[in-house]
Amino acid sequence: MSRHDAMLIATDEIDGIWPFLQSIDWRDPWLAVLLTFHIAITMTALMTRNHANFQIILFLVLLLLVYFSESINEVAATNWMVFSRQQYFDSKGLFISIVFSVPILMNCMIMVASWLYQSSQLMTSLKRAQLRQQAKNRQSNGEASNGRLNRPKQE
């Protein structure tokens, strides 16, 4: 058994998400960068919730990152010694799915939830404005018809 084989985590030995997360050496600098990336993306998604065009671009970029995570996993699996102390990138993609794709997808869900909330608020304010306009029209129509009925006939 080589030094590299001893560092591998067998995915068939993983019996839960928490034991898997505990087996990760979180002091690895690139994992700190990845965590910072996820925090920055979350803050960006929250702070730009009123900027629809930017959020659409961010959403599409994040989905593209998830789409290409298999390719990213393959590249990282072959070059892990350049940036990591351990080989985390298994052929099934468990590690990259948990620490990369899931947080990105959660950010996408936050953005979709924000869009749905904003849409419901917009529809509510639109319906209120519509009801106010209808009430105003009824009131002005009522005053106009009352004015015609109460007007004295001219002879």
Per-residue model confidence as pLDDT tens digits over 53-77: 999 999 999 999 999 999 999 999 9
Per the structure, the complete domain to which residue 56 belongs is given by 27-111
pLDDT at 76: 93
Q: How many domains does one find in the chain?
A: 1
Identify whether the C-beta of residue 111 lies closer than 8 Å to the C-beta of residue 48: no
Residue 14 is assigned to a structural domain of this protein: no
Residue 41 is assigned to a structural domain of this protein: yes
pLDDT above 70 covers a percentage of the chain that reads 83
Question: Tokens representing 13?
Answer: 């030995």
Question: Tokens representing 57?
Answer: 């671009």
Identify whether the C-beta of residue 15 lies closer than 8 Å to the C-beta of residue 98: no
Task: Determine how many CB atoms are found less than 10 A away from the CB of residue 89.
Answer: 21
Residue 10 is assigned to a structural domain of this protein: no
Residue 121 is assigned to a structural domain of this protein: no
pLDDT at 3: 46
Question: Tokens representing 40?
Answer: 């920055």
Residue 8 is assigned to a structural domain of this protein: no
| pLDDT tops 70 at residue 82 | yes
Which amino acid is it at 37?
F
pLDDT at 9: 52
